[in-house]
């Protein structure tokens, strides 16, 4: 039993159910995918930010032709369009150690997170 292993892409391509369920057009009905916020996570103590992240492609998600064009994008740009990162805000605020809503007005932690990833 010396079966040659294929690449990950070849293995996924052989699973027709996976290909059908995870195609971009199938996912487009559920876009944007929401970043999950852990249960019991308190909201960010900061109520205002100098900048603000919001998911900018909500209107584009409704047009299958434009969503199909996303296949030409790089991985980072595709992830930005597939996922709404707003749910990450309270987690990042806690990790940054923000305890109070008083004091200085910071930049949005989600904006910084995406800048760092870029």
Residue 94 token pair:
């806690």
2 within some domain: no
Q: Is residue 53 part of a domain?
A: yes
Which among 114, 38, 49, 51 has a CA at the least distance from the CA of 80?
Answer: 114
In a domain, 90, yes or no: yes
Q: Determine the pLDDT at residue 77.
A: 93
**Looking at residue 36, what is its pLDDT?**
92
User: Does some domain include residue 96?
Assistant: yes
Flag whether 29 is in a domain. yes
Regions in the chain scoring below 70 on pLDDT: 1-4
Domain enclosing residue 76, as ranges: 8-117
Given this model, what pLDDT does residue 85 score?
95
| Within-domain flag for 92 | yes
Whether 94 maps to a domain, the answer reads yes
- Asked whether residue 3 is assigned to any structural domain, the reply reads no
Q: What is the pLDDT of residue 95?
A: 87
The domain tally of the chain equals 1
């Amino acid at each position: 039993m010396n079966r040659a292993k294929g690449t990950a892409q070849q293995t996924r391509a052989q699973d027709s159910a996976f290909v059908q369920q995870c195609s971009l057009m199938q996912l487009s009905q559920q876009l944007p995918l929401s970043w999950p916020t852990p249960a019991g996570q308190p909201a960010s103590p900061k109520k205002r930010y100098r900048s603000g992240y919001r998911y900018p492609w909500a209107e584009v998600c409704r047009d299958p032709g434009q969503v199909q064009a996303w296949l030409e994008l790089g991985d980072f740009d595709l992830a930005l369009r597939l996922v709404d990162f707003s749910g990450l805000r309270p987690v990042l605020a806690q990790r940054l150690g923000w305890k109070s809503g008083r004091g200085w007005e910071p930049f949005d932690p989600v904006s910084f997170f995406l800048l760092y990833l870029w």
